[in-house]
Each structure stands twice: as C-alpha cells, then as structure tokens.
Amino acid sequence: MASLDAFASHRERVHRALSQRFGDAWPARFGEVLQYPLSTGGKRVRPVLCLMASEAVGGDAAAALPAAMAVELVHTYSLVHDDLPCMDDDDERRGRPTVHKVYDDGTAVLCGDALLTEAFAVLTEAELPAEVVVALVRRLADASGYRGMVGGQAADVGLGGPVTDVDTLLRLHRGKTGALLAASAAMGGMSAQATGDAMAALEAYGQAVGLAFQLADDVLDADEDAGDDGPPSYVKLLGIDETRRRAEALRDEALAAAAVLPRGEALAALARFVVDRDH
C-alpha cells in the first residue's frame, strides 16, 4: 500500500535527521549516550503523524520536520525517565538494555533532560514565521508538561490516588499518551500554516487517535497486565470486547476527520494501523 510506503519513508526521514544531532556534545561520550535511545527503533508514530498531518492539508513535509523531530525527542526523553528504577524500573526496551542499565541512573536522568531541552531548540530552527514557531513551542510545552504528558504520568504514579474507574483512566491517558499524539497532528498542520476547518479536523483526528492508541495497547497487553499487581487498564475495567469496541469507535472518528482533509488518505491508513495492529 502506498500509505504504508509513505509511513516507512517518513520514519526513515526522521531517523536520519535525529541521527545527525548531538555530534557536538561535550563530553564527547555524552553524544553517544544521547543517540542510544534514539537508535533503538520503534514505530515513530508521533513524528510520522506530524509529517502526514502537514501533507494532509497540502503542506510540505520538510517544513514540518523540525516539529516531527521535536515530538520524538520529547517522547524519547519520557521513555528514558519512565524506565528508571524510581519510575517503572524496566531493564529492557525494544529488546535492548535501557539507558540506565547501559550507563547508570544519573546519566539516564541527564540524557532525558538533554533530549527534552533539545526538542525546543529544534523547533527554533524551523523555517517558518516567528509567530508560528512560538505557537509550536507553546503547543509542545502544553502537551508535554503538567497539563499533558507529565500530568498524566503524575496520576500514573499515584499522586491522584488509585485509578479505579474509567473516567479517571481516560483523563490519565489523555495526558500521558494522548496529549503528545494529538499535538503531533496539530503541529503538522501548524507547520503547514493550516487554519479553520483543516485545523479543526486535525485536532479532532489527533484527539481520537491519541486515545485509540492507548485502548489498542491495552488490548495487546491484556495478558501482560493481568492480575491485581498490573497497572490499571481498560481491559480490567471494561473487558476486552468493550475496550476493543471503543478503540474501533475512536478509529472511526479519526477516519471521519481524515475524510474532511484534502489529502487525508495516509492519515486514514495510520488510524487503521494504530487500532488494528497486532504488536
């Protein structure tokens, strides 16, 4: 399918751009540290979504590349910190040792700090009007900070108390997972300087896909997350059939939003991939 070819092409484009960062790091070995979590593969759904969103409204993916890189840098920093012993305490990610296992805890903290900071530096390199760059910075800050991803992570570590109902879990995931995915779609449109109905459609698409992604993950991880000691999940609260039904309903919302856009076919394919994938 042409849309899947586009996904692979965009993913490789982002990978190449990110692999060229941090060559001027000091100490020099810190550059190696910073590249390590960026080189572990992954689907790169967020940056690809950003580039596809730009193209869906008639924009040039090249103009959206800084925004795509920025969201992936933020996402990667969050994974480095999530893997730490004080958070999820994971020894492996994508089949490779996590940053704190290869190096040490302190180095992993600094690695995440640097990746997050660099995300905003990358945005300032965008060849866009100053007011658009400022708007991109603000959107990413909102999505990744206490109003979005970090706020959701705070709830996930228990600061809001136990998560025992669906509404609380939805709010948690709209922050922890959904906010950055929604911002990816919006920032692609902003990079193309889209307005009006096109931006509204991208916002609706991003919100739907952002939540569908987590619901689909819960279905895939149902066996791993089972039991009282596992994390709260939609499958535990709703059952696997209802969780799948809700993910499919959100996919259909995303498809309806993509249909409004001038070139929304690739976004439609991405929405199907997010919900229908088997890994």
Judged by DSSP in three states, 59 sits in coil
- How many angstroms separate the CA atoms of 139 and 108, rounded? 26
- How many angstroms separate the CA atoms of 44 and 274, rounded? 12
- How many angstroms separate the CA atoms of 23 and 162, rounded? 44
Predicted TM-score of the model (pTM): 0.94
- How many angstroms separate the CA atoms of 47 and 39, rounded? 15
- How many angstroms separate the CA atoms of 104 and 247, rounded? 38
CB-facing half-sphere around the CA of 227: CA atoms within 13 A:
5
- Identify the structural domains of the chain with CATH numbers, from first to last: 2-276 (1.10.600.10)
What sign does the dihedral 68-276-269-201 (CA atoms) show? negative
As a whole number of Å, the CA-based R_g of the chain is: 18
- How many angstroms separate the CA atoms of 83 and 213, rounded? 20
> What is the DSSP-derived secondary structure letter of residue 126?
-
pLDDT in tens, the chain (279 residues): 446 678 899 999 999 999 999 999 999 999 999 999 999 878 899 999 999 999 999 999 999 999 999 999 999 999 999 999 999 999 999 889 999 999 999 999 999 999 999 999 999 999 999 999 999 999 999 999 999 999 999 999 999 899 999 999 999 999 999 999 999 999 999 999 999 999 999 999 999 999 999 999 999 987 776 666 677 899 999 999 999 999 999 999 999 999 999 999 999 999 999 898 876
- How many angstroms separate the CA atoms of 140 and 182, rounded? 10
Peptide bond into 27 cis (omega under 30): yes
